[in-house]
Structure 1
Amino acid sequence: MKIVGIAGSVRPGAYVRKLLEASARELPASADFEIWDGLDQVPPFQDGPLPPGVEQLCRTLSGADGVLIAAPAHSALPAQLGEALEWAASRRSGAVLVGKPVAVVTACLYAHEATWTQIELCRALAAAGAIVHGVDLLVSPAVSQFDSEGRLVDPAFRARLCGMLEKLCAPVPVKPVVPFARTTV
C-alpha cells in the first residue's frame, strides 16, 4: 500500500513536517510512504492547462492508495494547502481524491484550533470525494513531543494516531454498482 504524505505548511522546518514524519513511523510495516514536497509549487486555482506543480501533485496522488495530511492549526486552511486540494478536486485534474482514503492530523496549542482546522480540511476533502479519517490531536510545538528518533512521546497520542492510521491503511470496500433502471408508473 502506497501512502503519500503532505505537510500543510511551506515554512522550512515547520512543526507539522515533524508531525508528518513521526506519523509515518506509526504506519503499518506494509505501507510504502512518500512525502510530497511540492506544496510551494501549487499556484492559485485558475482556468487553463494544469501547471507543472499541479500535474506532479495529481500524478503523485493518483498513484497513491491513501494520503496523510499534517496541517497546522489555523482558523482557516493554509492557503497553499487549500489551493492544492481545490486543484486535486477539479475535473481537469481527474478528481484524483475521489474514493481515496485520507487521514488528517493537526498540530496546535489549543483544542479549539485543531477543531477549526479539522472542520475545514474535512469539508474540503469530502467535497473532493475523499474518504476522510481525522484526529484532532493536541501536539504542542512549545513542548518536546518527539524522542531522539523522531517518534511521538505520548503513548495515548500514539495510540489514537495508530487507530486512525489503521483505518487509512484498511482496504476500501468496493460497493457494487447498481445500474440505473428507469421505471414508469
Structure 2
Amino acid sequence: MSKKTVLTLVGSLRAGSTNQQLAEAIQLNAPDQVNVVIHESLGNIPFYNEDIDVEGQVPAAAAALRAAANDADTLLLVTPEHNGTVPASLKNAIDWLSRPFGAGALAGKPTAVVGTAFGQFGGVWAQDEARKAVGIAGAQVLENVKMAVPGSMVRFAEVHPKDDAEVVEQIKGVFDALAEARTPEAA
C-alpha cells in the first residue's frame, strides 16, 4: 500500500503561529500510511490576477503550489481567524488552486479544514468560510473532518500542540475521518 499525501496549507504567515504549530503536530501524529507535507510558501504567492495567470508565465510560487496540490491525495487547510474570516494568504491560495475554472488543482480534490484561534470557538467562522470557498472552487469538501481549538494564545503559550493530549486525540480523530472519506476514485 502506497502512502497517501496530505498537502497542508497554513493560513497564518506569522513566525510562531499556533496554526503552524498545529500543522506540525498533525504532521508528527500522522499514521504510517500518511505523508503530511506542509507547504511553506503561501506568503510568496502574489495575489491572484488573471493577467499574470498565463500559461508559461505563472509566478513560480503559484506554479509550485499548483503542482503540490495536483500531486496530493488530500488537502488540509489549517486556518486562524482574521476578523471573523479566513486570512488573505489562504484565500489567495484557494484562488490560485481554483484556476483554470473547472480544471484547477482543487477540482474534485478531497479537502478538509481545521484550525485554532484565540476566541472561544476556535475559529469556526474562518473554517466555515474556507469550506465555502474551496467548495465553490470545486473541491470535495470533507464536512465530517472538523477540529477547532479555542484559546490558542493562552492554551499554547507554554505548550506546543504536539504536547497537548486533548489536541493529539483530536488529531487522531481528524485522521480517522480522513481515512473514512471517499475520494472520487473510490466512489
TM range, smaller chain: 0.7 to 0.9
Q: Is the 8 A contact 1:111 1:136 kept in 2?
A: no
2:177 is aligned to 167
Give the deviation of 1:173 after TM superposition.
Answer: 5.0
Give the deviation of 1:92 after TM superposition.
Answer: 6.6
Cα distance in 2, alignment partners of residues 169 and 53 from structure 1: 30
Structure 1 residues 2-39: Cα deviation after superposition (integer angstroms, max 9, x where no partner): 11111111122222110100012222111112211110
Give the deviation of 1:93 after TM superposition.
Answer: 9.5
Which of 137, 142, 148 pairs up with 2:154?
142
Residue segments in structure 1 that go unaligned for 5+ positions in a row = 177-185
Secondary structure of residue in 2 paired with 1:95: coil
Aligned pair 1:55/2:67, yes or no?
no
1:65 is aligned to 73
Aligned pair 1:6/2:9, yes or no?
yes
Residue segments in structure 2 that go unaligned for 5+ positions in a row = none
Task: Give the letter for the 1:105 counterpart.
Answer: V
So what's the TM-score if we normalise by structure 2? 0.81
Cα distance in 2, alignment partners of residues 57 and 45 from structure 1: 13
Could you say if the C-alpha distance between residues 47 and 33 of structure 1 is closer, same or farther in structure 2, counting changes exceeding 3 Å?
Answer: same
Cα distance in 2, alignment partners of residues 111 and 98 from structure 1: 33
1:116 is aligned to 125
Which one has a bigger Cα radius of gyration? 1
Which of 85, 103, 121 pairs up with 2:94?
85
RMSD: 2.4
Which of 43, 46, 54 pairs up with 1:40?
43
Structure 1 residues 148-172: Cα deviation after superposition (integer angstroms, max 9, x where no partner): 7x624133x4333322222224452
Cα distance in 2, alignment partners of residues 37 and 145 from structure 1: 23
Q: Is the 8 A contact 1:66 1:100 kept in 2?
A: yes
What is the identity percentage for the equivalent residue pairs of Structure 1 and Structure 2? 24
Moved over 6 A (4+): none
Matched residue count: 174
